[in-house]
Amino acid sequence: MKKLFTALAISLAFSAAAQAQAWPSKSVTLVVPFPPGGSTDTVARAIAPKLTEKLGQPFVVDNKAGATGTIGATQVKRSAPDGYNFLVTSLGPLVIAPHLIRNMPYDTLKDFDTITVAVQAPNVLVVPARSPYKTVGALVAYQKLNPGKMSFASSGNGSSDHLTAELFWQQTGTSGTHVPYKGGAPAITDLLGGQVDASFQNINAVLQHIKSGKLTALAITSGKRSALLPDVPTLGEAGMKDLVVYSWQAVVAPKGLPADVRARAHAAIVAALNDPQIKQQFVSVGFEVVANTPEQFATFQQQEFARWKKVIETGKISID
């Protein structure tokens, strides 16, 4: 009997090893929890062909939008941890939504295996070209004299651009009026038309409008100036030393992914992100390739989770 159990255990071990070695043996789904056309969708569609090429099976992007990204995230959480469903997401569903939504259908820190932070991009504080405010100092001075009067557009309640504005108000001791839109495009449209006063937008979303002179960039939320906007100061240069904010896109899998599959998926995704053509495509619109390890991502996620929890609680922010 002992020999039988030993033989069975060896057989199962070989079977598991063979299964991991064979991955992927069919098409793999990259679930994007937002509509087509946004930053997260762009990242997924950029790496999918490279993953297909490298791993020999189709990598298909599936947009499952809704509920601030939690519908798509929930779908992946409930999927089998076999390497055939990954979530390509922004920071929202992983470190922001848990502090805004009651009865969350998943535990963001326990229900996923981290793969890598793919890219990150700073936000840019922009105003319409005809705005009287040409520096961060002038804008802050106006807000201090006129609490709540300046309107800040965002792509929605709880978005990166919304929470960056909240953090800005908290650190400068000012206040403004948050104007949430259903996505970044309509927010930028009203900003261009002068219907709102200011916004913290992802650099890739407003770069063309800054270059064309339709929007004025007052500051950038990165740790150092961007090569794409070398004349735009950081918020740190404007006196806000701790206001460094990046929006980011990352890849996670359902909890329990086999170690060999996780390692192979990570290596393939990192290789795709660092492909010269893909990397240049990202850098040209303001993304910075991160491509860190699963362990580094897990640590970073915990830090971001705690940071945005504090901002949301301090600002008494809700999505209602």
Residue-wise DSSP of 113-172: EEEEEEEEEEEEEEEETT-S--SHHHHHHHHHHSTTTSEEEESSTT-HHHHHHHHHHHHH
> Tens of pLDDT along 263-276?
999 999 999 999 99
pLDDT for position 14: 46
Among 220, 237, 262, the domain boundary falls at 220
The answer to whether residue 78 is domain-embedded is yes
Instruction: Answer yes or no: is pLDDT of 11 > 70.
Output: no
Q: 131 and 110, same structural domain?
A: no
Number of folded domains that form the chain: 2
Domain CATH number, residue 174: 3.40.190.10
Q: 207 and 64, same structural domain?
A: no
> Tens of pLDDT along 290-305?
999 999 999 999 999 9
Q: If you average pLDDT over residues 180-208, what whole number do you get?
A: 92
The answer to whether residue 291 is domain-embedded is yes
Token code pair at residue 35: 């509509």
Domain that holds residue 57: 26-120+247-314
Q: 165 and 94, same structural domain?
A: no
Report DSSP state, residue 255. Answer: T
Instruction: Answer yes or no: is pLDDT of 74 > 80.
Output: yes
The answer to whether residue 228 is domain-embedded is no
Q: 116 and 127, same structural domain?
A: no
Domain CATH number, residue 37: 3.40.190.150
Among 220, 237, 268, the domain boundary falls at 220
pLDDT for position 4: 56
Q: How far is CA 72 from the centre of its chain?
A: 14
- Alpha helices (H) in the chain, listed in sequence order: 2-22, 39-55, 70-77, 136-145, 160-172, 184-192, 203-211, 259-273, 276-283, 294-314
